[in-house]
Amino acid sequence: MIIFCFLLIYHFQLILFVIPLQKIEIMMDKSRQWNILCARLSDLLGNEVNLNGMLFLIGVQELGFSYRDFSKEEKLDLIGLGTCKLFSLRGLCSEDGRDADNWPRWKKSDELEWFSEDEKTELLQELALEYFSDIIELK
C-alpha cells in the first residue's frame, strides 16, 4: 500500500503522521463524483441542483410522478421521501405501508439517531451517488 507521510515538529519532538494515500484518493474521488453529479443534473434541469434538489427528484421518481408544480408541503414531503428512500439502501429506513393517498410511510431505524447531522448529510451524498450511478455517468 502506498503511504503518504508527512512530518510535524511540535515542542521539539518529531511526530510522524501516516495517512493511507488510498483513503485520501477515495475521499477525493467521491468529492469529484459529487461535483460531477451536481453539474450534470444542473445541466439537465437548467437549475442548480444541490442535495435537497436531488432528494426532491428521488421522491418524484419513487412516486412515479411526472414533473408538475408542487405545493410547498408536497415538496417537503417529496424531499422526506427521497431521504427515506436513500436511507433504505443501508437499512436505516424501511417502508411501512401506504397512506390513503398512496404515499409510502416509512419507519426509521433507531440507528439513524446515532448519526450527527453532518454524518447524515455525508451519507446521503454517498447514497445519492449510488442511486444515480446507473442513470448518469460520473467519470
Give pLDDT tens digits for 5-41.
343 344 334 444 444 434 444 455 788 888 888 888 8
Task: Answer yes or no: is 1 within a domain.
Answer: no
Taking Cα atoms as reference points, which of 28, 24, 104 lies closest to residue 65? 104
Q: Find out whether 63 and 81 touch, Cβ atoms under 8 Å.
A: yes
> How confident is the model at residue 138, as a pLDDT?
56
Overall number of domains in the chain = 1
Confirm whether 80 is domain-assigned. Answer: yes
Q: Is residue 41 part of a domain?
A: yes
Residue 87 domain flag = yes
Query: Domain range holding 52?
Result: 30-132
Q: Is residue 61 part of a domain?
A: yes
Q: Which three cell numbers stand for residue 56?
A: 426532491
Other Cβ atoms closer than 10 A to 129: 17
Pairwise CA distance, residues 10 & 133, whole Å: 44
In a domain, 4, yes or no: no
Confidence check: pLDDT of 69 > 90: no
Q: What is the mean pLDDT of the chain?
A: 79
Which residues have CB under 8 Å from 120's CB, separation 6+? 112
Going by pLDDT thresholds of 50, 70 and 90, the confidence category of residue 139 is low
Tell me if 122 is assigned to some domain.
yes
Instruction: Please state the rounded mean pLDDT for residues 49-53.
Output: 92
Amino acid code (one letter) for 87:
F
Give me 86's grid cell.
436513500
